[in-house]
Amino acid sequence: MRNLLYIDGAFVEPILGDFLPVIDPATEECFAKAAAGTEADVAAAVAAARRAFDHGPWPRMPAAGRAAILRQVARAIRDDLEPLAWLEMRDNGKPLEEARMDISDAAYCFDYYADMAEQAEAEGDAVQDVGDDRFHCRIRKEPLGVVGAITPWNFPLLMAAWKVAPALAAGCCVVLKPSELCPLTCGELARYLHQAGLPAGVFNLVTGLGQAAGVALSAHPGVDKLAFTGSEATGKLVMQAAARDIRNVSLELGGKSPFIVFADCDLDKAVEWIQFGVFWNQGQICSATSRLLVERPIYEALLERLKTAAQQLVIGPGERDGVQMGPIVSAAQKRRVMEGIEQGKACGACLVTGGGTPANRTRGYFVQPTVFADVPLDSWIWREEVFGPVLAVRPFDSEEEAIAEANDSRFGLAGAVMSADLERCDRVAGALRAGVVWINCSQPTFTQLPWGGYKASGIGRELGRHGYDAYLEVKQITRFDFDSHWNWYRTARPANP
């Protein structure tokens, strides 16, 4: 299997002719190749998107026309749900059932923004009363332009849909650069958009290494907006590139999200949500609630239950029935996770369970679900994102202490609180400095709701109406009423200089 680039309405080989291996993280075997796009390919893609936006029909098309294409893409994704899920599983390593959920969510995202495009057009311009009847003022929203979208490997098709669907719905043109680790389902997305009749240049796909294609896309002056999801370090570079030309940017970056558990909670339910919050997708989730704060009266009991539950998780290749955790996405990412675990061992934290590779997994990038207790507040494992199945736990004695420790982070993507006292939950949720807060759960995500973080976790929001508006410019249109106020204009207007 060879994935090509998609530029200006055609599937093409990269200009330099190079391809990258695509590795199955469960077997460590190469099962496909993806085009290694470079600066020249990015330049061709941006030029195509620029022509399509500046001179093509897409930004000027009635919303119903754009929506029809997006709905056709949603249908194609659903029709191919099973082969797409298998492809995502082999590319990323996640369990097959999780991949099915991701693919289904991606299809819904295209339907949702098709509806939103029609809704926004029906709303029309907003009329603004400025307190002066001589002037009629409207606020209009228009497509922003050419979007450079750079997406991660942890939810390959879904994260692409979060950017591509609203951008296209708003009338923008897109150059998508997915992670080189998991590019294959984005290649299928290009095929669906092509088959749906999307005009040439409106969507372009350039796969390749970040330091080649990603850097070139970030730096290209023909891009009006950069939309990036990934690490904090790379996000800073994207922001610096956007600043050089003062271009629009949105960043969805990392996190070290807290989960506060009070003593009045149901322990079994707490364990279930704690595990889901940090071990889902092998812990490779930017919003993973990987800092656990437990009220002291239940601290030891909860740790014991967490240990037992973590040791019972079924680890293996994603296609096997009952598998709850697959492999880490790559050899390099597994090394980073293991380095984080070593940091936890070195800081004096207590290793409750895990910390290594499952004994029965001789191939593949597997890591045991790992729990550290009594983790020092100033330790690397408490403050930095591991992006793997690693949980850091501390006790607390008061609500105020828990909130202070939860907020003591440069990140602010998400947070969670669990208690039978819903008033307390609401109070804590209001006090957490995070863009997403869950009460008595962790990680549910809905296309209808805004997604994004405070502080170093990013800039802007995806999903919901906020995610659509992120691809629009706001224009003020003010008209003077000559017919009614001509005499005022002649006497009150300033003299010519």
Residues 6+ apart with CB under 8 A from 388: 282, 283, 284, 328, 333, 334, 336, 337, 340, 367
Report d(CA 206, CA 39) in Å as an integer: 10
What is the pTM for the complete model shown? 0.95
Q: String of b and e for 309-332 (b: at least 16 CB within 10 Å)? A: bbeebebbbbeeeebbbbbbbbee
Report d(CA 427, CA 467) in Å as an integer: 27
Contact in structure between 262 and 270 (CB atoms under 8 Å): no
Residue 490, pLDDT score: 61
Mean pLDDT of 161-183: 98
For 374, the token pair is: 């009594």
Reported as a pLDDT band with limits 50, 70 and 90, residue 497 is very low
Residue 493, pLDDT score: 62
| Residue 496: Cβ-neighbour burial (10 angstroms; 0-12, 13-18, 19+) | exposed
- pLDDT tens digits for 129-146? 999 988 999 999 999 999
- The mean predicted confidence, pLDDT, of the chain is 96
Report d(CA 187, CA 382) in Å as an integer: 37
Residue 360, pLDDT score: 87
Residue 487 has pLDDT above 80, yes or no: no
Mean pLDDT of 303-328: 97
Domains and CATH numbers, the chain: 5-253+457-479 (3.40.605.10), 258-439 (3.40.309.10)
| Residue 10: Cβ-neighbour burial (10 angstroms; 0-12, 13-18, 19+) | exposed
N-terminal to C-terminal alpha carbon distance within the chain: 70
Residue 165, pLDDT score: 98
Edge-first strand order for the sheet with 29-35 is 2-3, 29-35, 19-24
Sign of torsion over alpha carbons 433, 436, 438, 442? negative
Residue 382 has pLDDT above 50, yes or no: yes
Report d(CA 27, CA 331) in Å as an integer: 11
| Residue 244: Cβ-neighbour burial (10 angstroms; 0-12, 13-18, 19+) | exposed
Sign of torsion over alpha carbons 405, 289, 448, 197? positive
Respond yes or no: is residue 252 known to be catalytic: yes
One of 232, 252, 385, 462 is an active-site residue; which one?
A: 252
What letter represents residue 217's amino acid? L
Residue 379, pLDDT score: 98
- pLDDT tens digits for 350-374? 999 999 999 888 899 999 999 999 9
Return phi, psi of residue 451, to 5°.
-130, 125
- pLDDT tens digits for 333-351? 999 999 999 999 999 999 9
**Residue length, the chain?**
497
